[in-house]
Chain A
């Protein structure tokens, strides 16, 4: 060194970085989702595999095509669209016709993400935007469920899966109700053990609460997920359903049932915690989680639908900017300055 011609690089401090990167965070979320995805395929067989593959492929392709059409380098490599594709697929009924899966996937990325400005600007969780559109467009198909662990699930498909585009899917005789629907429409409780482990019917990836919890704990341990959000959601659900359950345990399900059923676990751990759509302050996260828990319970208890996590999270996304503004901490020294003035 110190020889002539050696150039020194000049940048301003800091000269070191933590080593965390957007793509490493996103990749770790994908890792945390993999066991849940594997379980979905195991529980729902070919139907699960095809639904998840179509969801993933439609999301990733849409992102790639939009980037190319805009003349920009593709952003598929940052792994965020992989998360969207997986989460979207995991929230779908495994027997959903594949053409509907594809339409929803395009909507997730085109409407839910690209339209808002891409990564970092998507006000709403893109996976839920696609799902919400499907829910409104195809209410029957979106609430027809096949039971998990069916005989021959690896060799045959439900007849609805391969329905031709824009035709009415044939719902075959093997549909079964989700635990939430069973409770809502026939006051029938499901054993908590079955709920936690996933031996029930439901959306592809919503059934095994234990795997979802483990994935979430991994991300929390790596500081890639804000634990305050699921804690606040579960807290609100427990308080709300616990109070009602105490009043009338025949009409209102127990808090444990509420936590382990439907999309709550997946939503609370992986969708509400999407960094882009959730508040940045700690107090904001508590309020956001409490709001989501509350709205979920109001829909589940008094709404027309058995499940309300999706709408609750989308509403939470919508109020996030306000929560950030209301909970902004006082800057160091400002109190003292005001006191002196």
Chain B
């Protein structure tokens, strides 16, 4: 399938146009956030096995020091987000609702919080395998939200190859402006990261994808583009979910990841721009991730902004510091289209947290609308970026025909972007039903095996 062009800008077919709501924070430079009196650093911040702690309760740690090591290939290291005292190693709250193992760290109030460099991974002399190890050691996971261990994705198996590396600076999620700010303020880190990624994957070419609502970022990256890197900055049409990697491959390369397959099957790899910047910043210094840029925003937040925040900062401290309206009633990690709702303010931010969005009662009104029967308006069919029939799937879900949904109507290909629920004039919770259906199908499969 050919990539589609509208108004001269590349994009994918279908998709939706939620209000962007980025103006209030996109112009605000990244600011350092203070340390909370107690940081809760979960040992599960990524998809995969929990990290194993290498510190003990009562031990003093330096900021940036490794506090947990990877447990196998599908796991990463963790680093101390502050110099301080390990109070406890115990279960802590997480966004999933489950308690997960965590390190409770009390920062020293008087510390300068200097970070010492570790053993660098030099770009010129390191082999691809050494770079992969260094990325795992630095605790790098997908900062766009998925938190998949980056080094796993970068390991190109025998017999496969990558021709194009895509750096994802689309940030199509409403409200969020972290990637935007990182592109404006950390371009040298981004290009350093790209050099590491090109070396690891063997890709010849890089494309930095930016949505048309960030013309300053695109212009800045074009200007700063080093002449020794073969690649370009592509400006894409503003449309949700343009930042999903499957949609980027459609728009930029005209290729589709096979159902159930990997981007490697179409010789492409996609890496979030903030992740790339972290790699470019951390590896030459031999450091690990101990903080990240987060957009704190939403109608309920008083001092909105883009902040560099220590991993493990609890939501309560974060929101108290920026100030929130009295009638705040919903807090999401991420943006409003795909973000997860927080059930408690004790939950800490993690490496995968790209934003904290807080809504008030009044801003939430529209999602309390009554549910009507499906009127076959076809808005969802025209919205679904992977060409499913959400209307039909919704009816099957209501009948609990999960197996039919998966076997005959490609339920498992749904990546839960929520476009169908967003446009549905009957307010049917389509994607919510699909999540439950997918879980039921997985459970049935696990039970059968």
Contact = CB atoms under 8 A, between A and B. Distances in A.
Interface of A: 1-2, 6-25, 78, 80, 118-121, 226, 275-282, 328-337, 339-340
9 contacts: A9-B329, A17-B367, A20-B379, A120-B372, A282-B382, A332-B246, A333-B258, A333-B386, A334-B410
Given A1-B326, A14-B422, A336 B261 contact: yes
B448 interface: no
B364 interface: yes
Given A20-B379, A333-B413, A120 B374 contact: yes
Interface string B350-393: 00000001010000101101001111111101100111110100
B343 A8 contact: yes
Nearest to B334: A13
B353 to A, nearest CB: 14
Contacts of A78: 372
A334 B422 CA distance: 25
B367 A332 contact: no
B258 A8 contact: no
A333 B249 CA distance: 11
Contact of B332 (A13, A120, A336): A13
Nearest to B357: A15
Contacts of A19: 366
A78 B371 CA distance: 11
A7 B329 contact: yes
A340 B336 contact: no
A280 B376 contact: yes
A277 B377 CA distance: 10
Contacts of A339: 258
A25 B324 contact: no
A13 B260 contact: no
A12 B435 contact: yes
B423 A22 contact: no
Interface residues of B, number: 74
A25 to B, nearest CB: 6
A16 B336 contact: yes
A336 B266 contact: yes
Nearest to B18: A16
Contact of B381 (A11, A280, A337): A280
Nearest to B423: A18
A331 B374 contact: no
B260 A337 contact: yes
A120 B376 contact: yes
A16 B366 contact: yes
Nearest to A25: B425
Contact of A12 (B259, B328, B379, B432): B432
Contacts of A329: 387
Contacts of B343: 8, 10
Contact of B337 (A16, A24, A120): A16
B117 interface: no
B425 A21 contact: yes
B426 A22 contact: yes
A21 B336 contact: no
Q: Which 4 A-B pairs have the closest CB atoms?
A: A336-B258, A120-B373, A332-B386, A14-B418
A20 B423 contact: yes
Given A15-B330, A17-B366, A118 B373 contact: yes
Given A9-B364, A10-B342, A282-B382, 6 more contacts: A24-B425, A120-B373, A276-B375, A331-B259, A332-B386, A336-B259
B126 interface: no
A332 B416 CA distance: 14
A2 B246 contact: no
A119 B266 contact: no
B351 to A, nearest CB: 19
B259 A9 contact: no
B204 interface: no
Interface in B171-213: 174
A15 B359 contact: yes
Contacts of A21: 369, 372, 425, 427
B332 to A, nearest CB: 6
A334 B411 CA distance: 12
A135 B441 CA distance: 51
A14 B421 contact: yes
A275 B391 CA distance: 13
B256 A336 contact: yes
B93 to A, nearest CB: 13
A11 B341 contact: yes
Contacts of A17: 366-367, 369, 421-422, 424, 427
A337 B259 contact: yes
B340 interface: yes
A15 B341 contact: yes
